[in-house]
Structure 1
Amino acid sequence: MHKIDLLKKRIQKCCRRWEGRKRGMLAVAALICCLVVPWSLPAHVMAAAGYEDVAAGSDVASTQNVGKYGMTPLTADYLRDGSYEISVDSSSKFFRIKSAELTVKNGKMKAVIMIDSTSYEFVYMGSAEGAAKAPKSRYIEADVKNGRSYFTVPVSALDEPLNCAAFSSNTKKWYGRQILFDATTLPSGALTITLPDYNKIQDAVDAYDNGGDADSRGDNTAGTSEQQPSDPIYTSLDNGEYSIQVSMTGGSGRASIQSPAYLYVRKHHIYSKLTWSSSHYDYMIVGGRKYLNESNNGENSTFTIPVTAIDEPMIVKADTTALGDPVEIEYHLTFYENSIGDVDQIPQIAAKKVLAIALVVIIAGGILNYLIKRGKRQ
């Protein structure tokens, strides 16, 4: 009997050892799974390296709403299979979609959108924050042809704002956008239903908000630079170079121009040479006429333009590439007549004179030092 009890104890001891080893083996197996099975990790752990920055605050240009009042989302069920040209609205003027081809097949939609630049390396259908945390496999890479970028994107619905983040190849940041595929621009026969006239609906809403009918809202294009004079104003000043104080409003408020600025009088007409705080402006438009950047690459943009108004806002446009696609931005310049003064007031001219005086002083000091030493030797 004693031998049987002893045997039982040995068997129980072996079982306990086996249980301990089994738990240890299970722990090792779990660790191995965590190391070799990356899809079990949270999504943010798999974020693509080098694509974590999201533009925010002053880095984000002003946005606008997309779509028209009363639009209702349309899924693929409301379209016939086929490929169609379609217009796409964007919430950002820095992400303008020049053309798009929509393909509908088997209840799903996708589109090839074209941007007339190579400013964006990837797009991501979702928010900018989501793009920064997503694996690179979910990014939609640009197909670049002849300086244009093509992106093939899934389309969940037409006539509905869709989040679409774009990764800038210049700033290396994600920019949050919204795009809308406008079903009213589809060719006849693409839709299985008839859409309402959203333009009339929008006009009626605007008229109600303004307290009148649609025709009483006025011309929204009034005051654009194309309607402004393009010729320089007359002055009694003699021909020559002067300085003038100038202020600027418009745009995002980040750009500025140097003041005082050059003022040129040629045949009693006024021109100004403006220097921007940025090197990203490639042309300006005054009264419908284009003036090209005069600076060398890398230098702050400089333009010589006619002054078409004095002591009142003068509307111009300037084309910038600072945040992606080239875009024309409207600015208001005001030149102040009572500030016209000597050209020496311009910082560059004043700096050159200071340097010239300093150079004269240095040379004179050297000569004087030489004469003193020579006198001592004699």
Structure 2
Amino acid sequence: MKLKNKCSLLLAGVMLAGALVGCGASSAPASSAASSEAAASSAVSEAASASAEAALPDGTYTADFDTDSSMFHANEAFDGKGTLTVKDGQMTLHVSLASKNIVNLYVGTAEDAASHEADWLQPTTDVVNYSDGTSDEVYGFDIPVEALDTDFSVAILGKKGKWYDHTVSVRNAQPTMEEALADGAYTCDVTLEGGSGRATVESPAALTVADGRMTATIVWSSPNYDYMLVDGEKYLPTNTEGNSTFEIPVAALDTPLDVVGDTVAMSTPHEIEYTLTFTLK
């Protein structure tokens, strides 16, 4: 009887020791898991903080639209760029394409596009003016952008009804002039190119920004210019005596602006093509 009691006590002790060891073994991974979760949470928090610090302020920017395709790209008139709008921290790039051959876009893969028709991006009809004086209607798209300088997938749908995968990115965001310059009066250097080389314009020139629009005062070295053309619009001189003076719109600084000056200095009036480049002093 005593031997049976001793065996029962010994067996109970062994079982208790096993239970304690089991508890110890399970507690270590739980502690490790908690540490991993804390580290992951910290990493996510730091990433979110870094993303917030890197975010662009609300406003309008120009940005490069890089793609992996010679058929899918920004229209040549815009030098590979689109207009990036940031509102309430959300970024959207408007890009005018080369034609109307791409009828829908989807941010994601071609495999997923067919089953997510509600998320297809619909085109806008954009009028593009080319440097040779011609114009064309093309499709444009407003593409949501999660992050700059980061590749992401975009699927395109052509007229034949087939989706194609592409990789794109939005880079080199620069404030537009409306964002860069507050309303007010400025002075800028003006570079004139084109024509026979005999005509010049005064530099520096006055630049006025009102309601976000830039206007430059151009003073020619001759009184014989009776009008100027800028983006197809005719501008008449603002003076009746002295050298011909015009107030013309300026789309962007440090970017050649194609203009036409009509001169009556010859036997018959002649329209002469020039480029003007404005650089803020």
TM-score (norm. length: structure 1): 0.28
- Higher strand content, 1 or 2: 2
- Higher helix content, 1 or 2: 1
